[in-house]
Structure 1
Amino acid sequence: MTFAVLITLLVLVLLIGFLLFTNASTDVVIIGSLVLLMLFGVLTPIQALSGFIETGPLMIGGLFVVAAGLRETGMVERVAKLLLGRPNTLSGAQFRLMIPVSVLSGFMNTTAIVAMYLPIVSDWAKRIGVSSSKLYMPLSFSAIFGGQFSQLGTATNLVILGLYIKWSESDQSNWAREIGGGELSSAAEFWGMTASGIPAAILGISFIALFSKWLLPDRVKQMDITDEARRYEVTMRVDPGAALLGKTIEEANLRSLPGLYLFGIERGSTMLHAVGPDECLQENDLLHFAGVLESVVDLTRIRGLTPAEGDSGLHQSRRVLVEAVVSAEAPFIGQTVKQCSFRTTYGAAIIGVFRSGEKRSGKIGNMTLEPGDTLLLDSSAGFARLNKDSRDFYLVSTVEGGRVVRHDRALISGLILLAMIILLITGWTDKVVAVWLAAMAMIGTRCLSGAIARSAINWQVLLTIGGAIGIGQAVQASGLAKIGATGLLDVVSTMADSPRLILASVILITGFLAQFVTNYGAATIMFAIVILIAETLGLRPEPFVFGLMAGAGCNFLTPIGYQTNLMVFGPGGYRFTDFMRLGIPLLVIVIFCATLIIPLVFPFS
């Protein structure tokens, strides 16, 4: 065992140990491991950092910006309502999520799909009252299953088929042609994985929906609504011509936000109390709500509703929600919300008021402001900066996620997304170029600002993915991967009488190897091995090649094995072992389906 192999092995043990037994951040552990590999000379800085300029991380960075543009324009909420609906059970929610994701993943980049779905799932989970940790991992795993539907499913399929086509056209494949193998038709290349991929996806998705309630813990808790939570009273007006007109309260999803209560509707001179779910909305209805801050923020994002007390008059691109606690020295003490010239004085409009220890059910405009009242303001980001030291307020802070939605740009952001998908599917331009073209188009058409775009990029995810690719390079460069592959060849040579058992072993070992050297690395390492196995045993290579695709796509066991797992690892609040708990049964399902079905489509002899 060489020094490089020993160091790489020790670094891998340390990495897994830190992820398993400590609360250290994943990106810190991975980058720290990469630094150790450079320190001991296993990798040069260029090799170690090459992962950061791979297609995957570069695409993901742009996709974060595209997803932010969709969210800022309200397109995320529209897509969620169209695709996901309002299921009544956890399993129903998971089916609604996983089926379309798996189908889409069969024909376009899985990373792009998961990146686009992440903000959708975050909002949707809150609306249906489900912990997002019950949905993020199924999102990633369903995309992985979909990658086995066709040649386009994952880049790994393309890599393996490219290696096989190049091999089949060389003289090295003469022995395979003699026994009827060595060449694939165009249909076999494109749909070869479908026969085992679809049954595996059906069984795998069904398993997740039926058993994940026990196998996946609630790492991210649902919104904790207590009696002490701040409950604002907010009045929203139904805009003329809004899509909400004629819909019931239930159909408009105004009862689905947790911690938000519609206690009355003011319609002309009539006040409706105890509003039922079947009450239809009419033009200029004033809807009186009381609810926690997070749900009030979501309420302001609904298209067709605007604050009844007016707004700040600022352009949508500058407007944010701000909280301010009224001090005893404020000049508007003793005045009602309607009476005080708050907007003129501060450049902000009061859209909600919270008063500790007092529950009210009247109009906000008639509330007399008192010291200690917390005001929810429609203002600019500069309000907090200008008034943080003001004697009029005890505390001023910008509300997270409280930017005003640019609904007028929703169609534009949707068209940009559609154009990006077309470019990704057709391959008219490079994938990285397609994604960043869409990202720049989002900024250029003012779907979001440059500042929001910069803050939308999750650098922790990018550091983790780039570092993981570098560690995969170390496993190959040090020779550790070759040692493992040679050991596999020695093992399977004892199974010559059972080709299916050999195929199962190939899938299992490839799947395990892919967790640590990435699926690309596992595919490249194992390809030469499976060809040698087939030649040694006198069997056609096709079933082993497609088994190699199945194994390289089994990225269920660790968060570092695949980019989509890394993308959901942080937002889902998962631990390293959570992936194994759900992933091991899924790996067994893939091995079973591939071992059973692939030899029926591509016989061993």
Structure 2
Amino acid sequence: MFEAYLTLALVFAVLVLLATTRLPADVILVAALGCLMITGILTPAEALNGFSNPGVMTIAVLYVIAAGLKDTGAIQYIAHGLLGQPRTTRQAQGRLLLPASLLSAFMNNTAVVAMLIPAVQDWSQRIRISSSKLLLPLSYAAIMGGTLTLIGTSTNLVVDGLLQQQKGVALGMFELAWLGVPIVLVGGSFLILFGNRLLPSRQGAVEQLSRAREYEVEVEIAQNSPLIGKTIAEAGLRSLTYTYLAEIERRGKRLPAVDPDTLLEAGDVLFFIGASEGANELRKIHGLQPASEAVQKLNMAHHQRHLVEAVVGPDFPALGKTIRESAFRTRYKAVILSVSRGGSRLQGKLGDIHFNVGDTLLMEAGENFVEQYRFRRDFLLVSLLNNSTPPDFRKAPIALGWLVFLIGVSTTGLLSILEAALIATGGMLLTRCVTASRGRGAIDLSVLLVIAASFALGMAMTKTGAAQILADLILGGAGTTMSPWEVLALVYLMTVIFTEMITNNAAAVLMFPVAMAVADQLGASFMPFAIAVMFAASASFITPLGYQTNLMVYGPGGYKMVDYLRIGLPLSLLTGATAIGLIPLIWSF
């Protein structure tokens, strides 16, 4: 009993840390795994068992397949053909839900939303409908679409892996569709019928383009600059395309609203305000140099430095710290030139600005910065200015062909999903739909670590009897009068609460042994309870933090926390009632 209560205390500590701190989820769960080994609750082989689970490897391989579909433009190819030219918001939402849910059924939800966000933003401008009416439904459709197939979301594969390990049961590719299709139909209908009324009509980042990428950039007149002695007008600094000269700092004094006839002097610091392209424009003017000394300390030639925009993510290690305290240049080998927040540039001394999630940084960095940090969790989005590589649409049919192969051979049972995914990945690499380095970078190691380490907690709960203790609490003792249907609803509700507080995969792994213990105590089949955990862990609609796709549309849609609650709570209740009502009819007690 001591080990059981120690395991429960560790699980409680993990939940609290995940919900209340900025520590990365993989760090917390790997630390918990270490505690289980050190205390002797699990042997090293048992603690590391999650890393050999077929579901974890399948998720890793599917990341590479998703990268191939993205790089070949297969997703845009399908989406553009289905979006069309709707006339009303309701029609637009209906057109969007179909491709988003279908694509999410066969590839990672995060990848689908990441690829469709810019397409939906452009589309919303073209059809003159606010993107805030479309981006949150995009996230919700991707979440619901992930329930259609076994490979639709990592949560499905995690629970399937647990079923294989503990019960010797493997789910089929489309077995979940018996419940997934009704959930997509019910949830999609709700979004189409009530989405226009419940969603805000708010300007997002693209619709505020004149403000969304507005920065203040400082440049200096070099000591031997050919601009010395020229007026501002003669130097061509009054007729720039993307930016304008706001003021000059000369010998420690600010000169606002400078006259075009003002003569430039060596050492003058010029402050320009405008779009990010303006910084690139200034770099091409001979005689101007970055005013920040930190840029010179990058120790790389001018032609090797590039302008980069990056959006600060929730896992950024210096959240809450100032730029000066973060040692940003040392850590990232890049220098921040300006910061934009909420669509507006931040004023004041750059080094005193505190980092917040969603801040857009304009930086000068080496040419490898984008490749190195594009797939890291520090930043939600990293882009190299004026260097957008278009997809190789010629290979889109090949990438789609490998996806069809994966679905076909795994559905017919010729190969397991993992075996089929490995062959499809190899085919994409051989046909150059995705490069090896790109595929390697697309694998989210932090997610894999979270899942594998969560397995250790789940195993400890089963081994020590902690899951049985929680099952007794849920059932209210052996003499409970609750029906299996009521207990199923309670398990579903607990999983939804967990997934809104912590990661969806961790919620699934922690609730799985509890669900199994509840089923054993009731003398009922374990399948309805396993399916309830699987679907509830994916049904995260109430907060932007519960599921990564919800957070991804937060900034582009201009949303607030209350927007998620207003539409997500009724959607969560509706899909939950649908799932609880149908699960026992499909997988009987």
Please list every run of 5 or more consecutive structure 1 residues that lacks an aligned counterpart in the other structure.
167-186, 232-259, 261-290, 295-321, 331-345, 347-380, 386-396, 535-540
Deviations 1:4-63 (A, max 9, x none): 334433333333333333334333343344444444444444433333343333223222
**Which amino acid in structure 1 is aligned with residue 532 of structure 2?**
A
In the other structure, the counterpart of 2:432 is 446
Distance 2:57 2:563 in 1: 27
In the other structure, the counterpart of 1:18 is 17
1:483 is displaced (CA, Å) by 0.8
**Contact persistence 1:556–1:579 (CA under 8 A):** no
Residue 203 of structure 1 pairs with residue 198 of structure 2: no
1:445 is displaced (CA, Å) by 1.5
Task: Provide the secondary structure at the position in 1 that maps to 2:76.
Answer: helix
In the other structure, the counterpart of 2:447 is 461
**Contact persistence 2:467–2:517 (CA under 8 A):** no
Distance 1:549 1:591 in 2: 12
Residue 473 of structure 1 pairs with residue 459 of structure 2: yes
Deviations 1:350-382 (A, max 9, x none): xxxxxxxxxxxxxxxxxxxxxxxxxxxxxxx79
Deviations 1:147-176 (A, max 9, x none): 69x9xx95657987999999xxxxxxxxxx
Match of 1:592 among 577, 586, 589: 577
In the other structure, the counterpart of 1:5 is 4
In the other structure, the counterpart of 1:66 is 65
Report matched runs for 1:105-254 at 5 Å.
110=105, 112=107, 114=109, 117-129=112-124, 130=131, 134-135=136-137, 137-143=139-145, 145-146=147-148, 154=156, 156=159, 194=178, 198-208=181-191, 210=194, 221-222=205-206, 224-226=208-210
In the other structure, the counterpart of 1:325 is 283
Report matched runs for 1:417-566 at 5 Å.
417-490=403-476, 493-495=479-481, 501-502=486-487, 504-505=489-490, 507-508=492-493, 519=508, 522-523=511-512, 525-527=514-516, 529-530=518-519, 532-533=521-522, 546=528, 549-556=531-538
Residue 79 of structure 1 pairs with residue 82 of structure 2: no
Report matched runs for 1:266-281 at 5 Å.
none
1:225 is displaced (CA, Å) by 1.6
1:227 is displaced (CA, Å) by 6.3
**Contact persistence 1:557–1:584 (CA under 8 A):** no
Deviations 1:402-438 (A, max 9, x none): 2243333233223222222323323322322322322
1:551 is displaced (CA, Å) by 4.8
1:516 is displaced (CA, Å) by 7.8
1:454 is displaced (CA, Å) by 2.5
**Contact persistence 1:471–1:517 (CA under 8 A):** no
Please list every run of 5 or more consecutive structure 2 residues that lacks an aligned counterpart in the other structure.
125-130, 216-241, 243-273, 289-302, 304-366, 372-382
TM-score by length of 1: 0.53
**Contact persistence 2:536–2:576 (CA under 8 A):** no
1:146 is displaced (CA, Å) by 3.1
Task: Provide the secondary structure at the position in 2 that maps to 1:27.
Answer: helix
1:327 is displaced (CA, Å) by 4.7
Distance 1:113 1:509 in 2: 25
Distance 2:507 2:116 in 1: 26
Distance 1:100 1:492 in 2: 48
1:480 is displaced (CA, Å) by 1.9
1:484 is displaced (CA, Å) by 0.7
Distance 1:472 1:568 in 2: 26
Distance 1:42 1:576 in 2: 40
Q: Go from structure 1 to structure 2 and tell me whether the alpha carbon gap of 1:15 and 1:494 turns closer, same or farther (over 3 Å shift).
A: closer
Q: Go from structure 1 to structure 2 and tell me whether the alpha carbon gap of 1:577 and 1:477 turns closer, same or farther (over 3 Å shift).
A: farther
Distance 1:450 1:216 in 2: 42
Match of 1:568 among 538, 549, 561: 549
Task: Provide the secondary structure at the position in 1 that maps to 2:391.
Answer: coil
In the other structure, the counterpart of 1:241 is none
Deviations 1:39-89 (A, max 9, x none): 444444443333334333322322222222223223232122124446567
Report matched runs for 1:26-41 at 5 Å.
26-41=25-40
* Alignment size in residue pairs: 422
Distance 2:202 2:18 in 1: 19
**Contact persistence 2:145–2:184 (CA under 8 A):** no
1:589 is displaced (CA, Å) by 3.0
**Contact persistence 1:84–1:97 (CA under 8 A):** yes
**Which amino acid in structure 2 is aligned with residue 568 of structure 1?**
T
Distance 2:507 2:211 in 1: 48
Task: Provide the secondary structure at the position in 2 that maps to 1:202.
Answer: helix
Q: Go from structure 1 to structure 2 and tell me whether the alpha carbon gap of 1:426 and 1:144 turns closer, same or farther (over 3 Å shift).
A: same
Task: Provide the secondary structure at the position in 1 that maps to 2:283.
Answer: strand
Range that drifts further, 451-460 or 86-95: 86-95
1:519 is displaced (CA, Å) by 3.9
**Contact persistence 1:70–1:76 (CA under 8 A):** yes
In the other structure, the counterpart of 1:171 is none
1:485 is displaced (CA, Å) by 1.3
**Contact persistence 2:144–2:180 (CA under 8 A):** no
Deviations 1:115-136 (A, max 9, x none): 6524432332332353696256
**Contact persistence 1:137–1:572 (CA under 8 A):** yes
1:142 is displaced (CA, Å) by 0.6
TM-score by length of 2: 0.55
Q: Go from structure 1 to structure 2 and tell me whether the alpha carbon gap of 1:508 and 1:36 turns closer, same or farther (over 3 Å shift).
A: same
User: Which structure is larger by alpha-carbon Rg, 1 or 2?
Assistant: 1
Distance 1:27 1:580 in 2: 27
Distance 2:392 2:510 in 1: 43
Q: Go from structure 1 to structure 2 and tell me whether the alpha carbon gap of 1:91 and 1:513 turns closer, same or farther (over 3 Å shift).
A: same
Distance 1:190 1:493 in 2: 38
Deviations 1:218-270 (A, max 9, x none): 99955752269599xxxxxxxxxxxxxxxxxxxxxxxxxxxx9xxxxxxxxxx
Distance 2:517 2:78 in 1: 44
Report matched runs for 1:318-397 at 5 Å.
325-328=283-286
Percentage of pairs with the same residue: 24
**Which amino acid in structure 1 is aligned with residue 109 of structure 2?**
V
